Amino acid sequence: MVKLTQQLTQFLNKKTFGHFINGAYTTPSLTNSIEVINPANEETIVSVSKGSPEDVDYAVRTAKTAFEYQSPWRKMSPDDRGKILFSIAEKLEEHKESLAQLITLENGKLIKDARSSDVGGASKTFRYYAGWTTKIEGETLDISQPQKGNKQNFAFTRREPIGVIAAIVPWNFPLSIASWKVAPALAAGCTVVLKPSEETPLSALLFAELAVEAGLPPGVLNVVTGDGATTGSALISHKDISKVTFTGSTQTGKIIGKAAMENVTGVSLELGGKSPAIVFDDAIDFDATAKGVAAGIFRNQGQVCVAGSRVYIHKNVFDKVLTDIAHVAEKMKISDGFDEAADLGPLVSRSHLEGVCAYIQKGQEEGAVLMSGGDQPFDKGCFLQPTIFSVTDNEQTIVQEEIFGPVLVAIPFTDMEDALQKANDSKMGLAATVWTKDISKAMTMVNRLQAGVVYVNSPVRSDPNLPLGGYKHSGIGRELGKTGVYAYTTLKSVNIVY
Ligand code: NDP
């Protein structure tokens, strides 16, 4: 077992956690709590409180007070807000090892990914949005209303922070996805109530502590732990929430969208995908392509919203490319996330593992050919081999539904039209990758693929300046980039007649 940092050992000594509201922990509930389980050994780490509607109300009222006109947060200059966001980015770097270890404990993911994607990614996002606090702008507008007498007018728009944000995040990248919501919301001047997934609540709590240490006024960021059915539901239907920003399943996204409509609040939904990776027979370098396609699906145990889980391969190179991908998969070391040499850690939980295994069984029942993997390698822990299926029918369940595990489904195609038709034949539309050296082919695919993000000759990677979001059932709205910060502002039109 790895030696935990002293800071993390002290943090975990609390054993039971309250919510983090107004810059401090509430008294933990001993009767209404949730155990946080390490999926590598399935042992309990600690317990967190399961937020009741009253806890949620306290958090929202606190965030509302912190947002009031003339509150320290509202009076703060954009430059000072930016300094706090920079300081949060630095805190994340300073405490990278403790946060990364905590994420590996609660999520199971590889420590090297927790360091780079989660903590490093969150820190980059805060640095990026720190720069945006001073760049939020409206426009001056020429309007055609006639003015009486000698009067003139001056019309402009100003962007104002929307208000209290409910941020509901999943377990797959607990800290970086939280940062995609919290950093732009704070940059815009909003206040936030964050509800992490019940599987991974601990990193959100430590992060909120560090944000206050970095100078964020108490009450500006609050964390309520608990499940979706009780805590999440109470949060999305609270009347003082101005916008709900959510990442997770399409099913929950629909519930959240309806609740937001009930209160007429804004909503942004990032709902995952079933993203195609399309390999042409003129790919630049087949070895690199096989590695890139494998990384696109097996990274983070396949628990990635933009994972390239449907791999369409030109019929001329189908067998070769699939064999190469299978070789990459078979060489992957499956181990505890703390093993620095591991390529694949455990899935997030026993119930999620069972869901993924049910898809593997369904695939075989429907006639998909299992090329590689499919088994649980150890008796203990939520581990699963990287799994590869070969399929000819695009309508099969494992081709159409998001599995959210290390399961790749390969399908042959005949030409570009066939590839486009199959790739776009999906309810989802989050991301796609195209592997070819022909720029005309690549650009035609870019133009015609129904996906919010398209990468050519690389697996999809997030970047703070690159908007992310989906077509079709993959969501509504975009996160990151300029769009990401403007999503937490509302526009006021002003006309001064003088
Ligand atoms: P969910 O959509 O159920 O959960 C995401 C977040 O929403 C969690 O914080 C969850 O809380 C919360 N939530 C659940 N129900 C409600 C509700 N009624 N009101 C408010 N909040 C709610 O996803 P799961 O974590 O259960 O994963 C299920 C599937 O979703 C995966 O197999 C995958 O297909 C997809 N998914 C997609 C992700 C993406 O990046 N787009 C990320 C994660 C999952 P809690 O977990 O505590 O119940």
DSSP β-bridge partners for residue 370 = 389
The 3-state secondary structure of 260-327, one letter per residue: HHHCCCEEEEECCCCCEEEECCCCCCHHHHHHHHHHHHHHHHHCCCCCCCEEEEECCCHHHHHHHHHH
Give the model's confidence band at 157: pLDDT under 50 very low, under 70 low, under 90 confident, else very high: very high
- Neighbour tally for 341: CB within 10 Å: 8
| pLDDT for residue 272 | 86
If you average pLDDT over every residue of the chain, what do you get? 97
Q: Which residue's CA is the nearest one to ligand 1's atom 13? A: 228
Question: Which pair of structure tokens corresponds to residue 10?
Answer: 């002290």
Give the model's confidence band at 2: pLDDT under 50 very low, under 70 low, under 90 confident, else very high: confident
Cα 203 to ligand 1 centroid, rounded to whole Å: 17
Q: Which residue's CA is the nearest one to ligand 1's atom 9? A: 197
Determine which one of 199, 270, 402, 479 is catalytic.
270
Q: Is the CB of 236 within 6 Å of ligand 1?
A: yes
Determine which one of 198, 199, 305, 357 is catalytic.
305
Cα 67 to ligand 1 centroid, rounded to whole Å: 28
43 is catalytic: no
Q: Is the CB of 257 within 6 Å of ligand 1?
A: no
Q: Is the CB of 275 within 6 Å of ligand 1?
A: no
Q: Is the CB of 359 within 6 Å of ligand 1?
A: no
Cα 251 to ligand 1 centroid, rounded to whole Å: 8
Cα 325 to ligand 1 centroid, rounded to whole Å: 30
Cβ atoms of 390 and 371 within 8 Å: the answer is yes
Q: What is the pLDDT of residues 366-410, one digit of tens each?
A: 999 999 999 999 999 999 999 999 999 999 999 999 999 999 999
Cβ atoms of 245 and 166 within 8 Å: the answer is yes
Cα separations in angstroms, 281 against 293, 321, 399, 447: 14, 9, 22, 20
Ligand 1, atom nearest to 177 Cα: 40
| pLDDT for residue 30 | 76
Question: Pick from 74, 422, 423, 403: which is nearest to 249 by CA?
Answer: 403
The 3-state secondary structure of the chain, one letter per residue: CCCCCHHHHHHHCCCEECCEECCEECCCCCCCEEEEEECCCCEEEEEEECCCHHHHHHHHHHHHHHHCCCCHHHHCCHHHHHHHHHHHHHHHHHCHHHHHHHHHHHHCCCHHHHHHHHHHHHHHHHHHHHHHHHHCCCCEECCCCCCCCCCCEEEEEEEEECCEEEEECCCCCHHHHHHHHHHHHHHHCCEEEEECCCCCCHHHHHHHHHHHHCCCCCCCEEECCCCHHHHHHHHHCCCCCCEEEEECCHHHHHHHHHHHHHCCCEEEEECCCCCEEEECCCCCCHHHHHHHHHHHHHHHHHCCCCCCCEEEEECCCHHHHHHHHHHHHHCCCECCCCCCCCCECCCCCHHHHHHHHHHHHHHHHCCCEEEECCCCCCCCCCCCCCEEEECCCCCCHHHHCCCCCCEEEEEEECCHHHHHHHHHCCCEECEEEEECCCHHHHHHHHHHCCCCEEEECCCCCCCCCCCECCEECCEECCECHHHHHHCCEEEEEEEEEC
| pLDDT for residue 79 | 98
For 219-231, what is the mean pLDDT?
Answer: 98
305 is catalytic: yes
Whether the model clears a pTM of 0.85, i.e. scores above it, the answer is yes
| pLDDT for residue 34 | 97
| pLDDT for residue 1 | 65
| pLDDT for residue 96 | 98
Q: Is the CB of 404 within 6 Å of ligand 1?
A: yes
Q: What is the pLDDT of residues 305-316, one digit of tens each?
A: 999 999 999 999
| pLDDT for residue 218 | 98
Q: What is the pLDDT of residues 4-19, one digit of tens each?
A: 999 999 999 998 999 9
Question: Which pair of structure tokens corresponds to residue 332?
Answer: 């992957």
Q: At what angle do helices 121-132 and 78-94 cross, to 10 degrees?
A: 170
Q: Is the CB of 170 within 6 Å of ligand 1?
A: yes
Residue 284: pLDDT over 90: no
Q: Is the CB of 412 within 6 Å of ligand 1?
A: no
Q: Which residue's CA is the nearest one to ligand 1's atom 4? A: 248
Q: Is the CB of 305 within 6 Å of ligand 1?
A: yes
Ligand 1, atom nearest to 430 Cα: 41
Give the model's confidence band at 81: pLDDT under 50 very low, under 70 low, under 90 confident, else very high: very high
Substitution site in 55, 249, 403, 460 for ligand 1 pocket (most atoms within 8 Å of beta carbon): 249
Q: How far apart are CA 177 and CA 480, in angstroms?
A: 10
Q: What is the pLDDT of residues 322-376, one digit of tens each?
A: 999 999 999 999 999 999 999 999 999 999 999 999 999 999 999 999 999 999 9
Q: Is the CB of 230 within 6 Å of ligand 1?
A: no
| pLDDT for residue 257 | 96
Q: How far apart are CA 51 and CA 55, in angstroms?
A: 5
Q: Is the CB of 16 within 6 Å of ligand 1?
A: no
Give the model's confidence band at 149: pLDDT under 50 very low, under 70 low, under 90 confident, else very high: very high
Ligand 1, atom nearest to 356 Cα: 32
Cα 396 to ligand 1 centroid, rounded to whole Å: 24
Q: How far apart are CA 77 and CA 82, in angstroms?
A: 9
Q: How far apart are CA 272 and CA 262, in angstroms?
A: 24
Q: Is the CB of 280 within 6 Å of ligand 1?
A: no
pLDDT cut 70: percent of the chain above it: 100
